[in-house]
Amino acid sequence: MARIKYQEALGLEVKRGRPAKGNKPLKKEIIKLYVKESKSIREVAKELRCTKDMVARALIEYGIRSRSSAPRSSLIEYDLKTLEAGILIKGLRGFARDLGVNPSTLLHHMRVRKKQA
């Protein structure tokens, strides 16, 4: 049989779990550091003096999508027209070799960028 806590019996709200360390970060601070300056969750937490879990929960609460932990593609720095021109001049395999990526990676990147445009 589960025990009823004294405060619950009186109808008072009972907080569960360990108390949070630090204050919950404001939305504008998270947008500035995480979104605009592209800092990691740990870097944001260190700067705002709170835990990384608190920053992660705040991202969810504020509706800000967290970034993937996968490294960003080196092809991001090239615009779509430059990539298309390079493929026309050197061919898919030759241009991919010059960029230091696999031809299928270059092809996939092109498809994704065209969908986004």
Question: What is the per-residue pLDDT across 29-71, written as a single tens digit (0 to 9) for each?
Answer: 999 999 898 899 999 999 999 989 999 999 999 999 988 877 7
Token pair of 107, please? 């092809």
Which residues contact residue 56 at a Cβ distance below 8 angstroms, ignoring those fewer than 6 apart?
A: 41, 66
- Residue 38 backbone class (left: φ over 0; alpha: ψ -120 to 50; beta: rest): left
- The rounded distance, in Å, linking the Cα atoms of 7 and 13 is 7
Report d(CA 67, CA 106) in Å as an integer.
22
Cβ pair 53, 19 in contact under 8 A? no
Indicate if the pLDDT at residue 2 is higher than 70: no
Q: How many CB atoms lie within 10 A of CB 94?
A: 13
Q: Are residues 46 and 64 in the same domain?
A: yes
Inter-residue contact 57 to 63 (CB < 8 Å): no
Question: Domains in the chain: how many in total?
Answer: 2
Last residue of a domain, one of 50, 69, 88: 69
Greatest mean pLDDT among 3-7, 74-78, 107-111 lies in 107-111
Domain containing 88: what range? 74-116
Is there a domain that residue 46 lies in? yes
